[in-house]
Amino acid sequence: MARKLSTRKRPARELKPIRSRMKISNKVFDDQTMTVLHYFLSNKRITSLDFPIAQGKEAMVFRATTPTGYAAVKIFKYETASFRKRMQYVQGDPRFKVPKGLRSAVRTWARKEFANLSLCIRHGVRSPRPIAFKENVVIMEWLGVGGIPSASLKDVWMDDPQRMLNELLEDVKKMREAGLVHADLSEYNIVVHENHPYLLDVGQSVLLSHEGSEGFFLKDVRNILKFFKRRGVKMTEEDALNFVRGA
């Protein structure tokens, strides 16, 4: 789960004080990651890495400037505490070899996030369009208003939560049609962009053929319903599941 660095989203000119105050973790910018960032800077995928947006256990997300606007850059940390926990999401997925060793595992998370984002986009799920990846770094479409990142579902006030829930279930359904189960769906991994929900953080998403997929799927739907219940929207689990499964 990502920890917000600031509840108020800051524009670029306030960057400098943030940087000096934050002491950006050395763990993210190890030599290999610097080489990858240099690669993306020299091929002009990005022109600068601007500031951190979120810090999680496994990854940090930054805003970057590109020749045409902005992008989100997700850097998976090699020094991750949740190595073992994440392995279960890769095992049994025929798209990926089970990685040997920590570095190769972390690169597989990044590759998997990129592959899953591509699948989502191809099936019309609202999620950030993947742009590029290399080793432990994924570059994706920027979801923001100008340079300010769009807010997470947990932080937004919704004028029509019922419509938001319907759109979300529509996306969960499309994701299922893409053959994927999100497996970490909650108000923390949904961003409200241009008044629509966008699904993020699909690195751990599994194929329907994964042995745990049905359990993950139930948990995803329950998380969403629980959140919307607190926002005054009631839908039975049965109705939601029937809708998503297309019954």
Ligand X SMILES: Nc1ncnc2c1ncn2[C@@H]1O[C@H](COP(=O)(O)OP(=O)(O)O)[C@@H](O)[C@H]1O
* Positions in the binding site for ligand X (CB under 6 A): 2, 53-54, 56, 58-59, 61, 72, 74, 128, 140-144, 149-150, 152, 188-189, 191, 200-201
Specify the residue, 192 or 244, whose C-beta has the smaller distance to ligand X: 192
The span from the CA of 91 to the CA of 217, in Å, is 17
- How far, in Å, are 56, 221, 239 from residue 236 at the CA level? 32, 10, 5
| Shortest separation between residue 59's beta carbon and ligand X, angstroms | 4
The span from the CA of 171 to the CA of 234, in Å, is 18
Specify the residue, 4 or 241, whose C-beta has the smaller distance to ligand X: 4
Q: Is 201 a catalytic residue?
A: yes
Query: Measured at CB, which residue is nearest to ligand X?
Result: 56
Q: What is the dihedral of CA 195, 196, 197, 202, to 10 degrees?
A: -120
The option from ligand X, Mg ion, none interacting with 224 (CB < 5 to 8 A, set by class) reads none
- Could you say which of 50, 201, 220, 239 is catalytic? 201
Place of tokens 């329950």: 222
Tell me if 201 contacts Mg ion by CB under 5 A. yes
The residue length of the chain stands at 247
- How far, in Å, are 169, 206, 238 from residue 243 at the CA level? 8, 20, 8
Angle at alpha carbon of residue 37, lines to 32 and 40, rounded to 5°: 130
Handedness of CA 209, 152, 147, 74 (dihedral sign): negative
| Shortest separation between residue 120's beta carbon and ligand X, angstroms | 12
Tell me if 50 contacts Mg ion by CB under 5 A. no
Specify the residue, 162 or 219, whose C-beta has the smaller distance to ligand X: 219
The span from the CA of 125 to the CA of 176, in Å, is 10
| Shortest separation between residue 119's beta carbon and Mg ion, angstroms | 18
| Shortest separation between residue 58's beta carbon and ligand X, angstroms | 5
Binding residues for Mg ion restricted to 159-198, rule: CB under 5 A: 189
Residue 116 φ/ψ, nearest 5 degrees: -70, -40
Specify the residue, 82 or 209, whose C-beta has the smaller distance to ligand X: 82
Q: Is 184 a catalytic residue?
A: yes
Specify the residue, 171 or 201, whose C-beta has the smaller distance to Mg ion: 201
Q: Mind telling me the catalytic residues?
A: 184, 201
Tell me which residues touch Mg ion (CB under 5 A).
Answer: 2, 189, 201
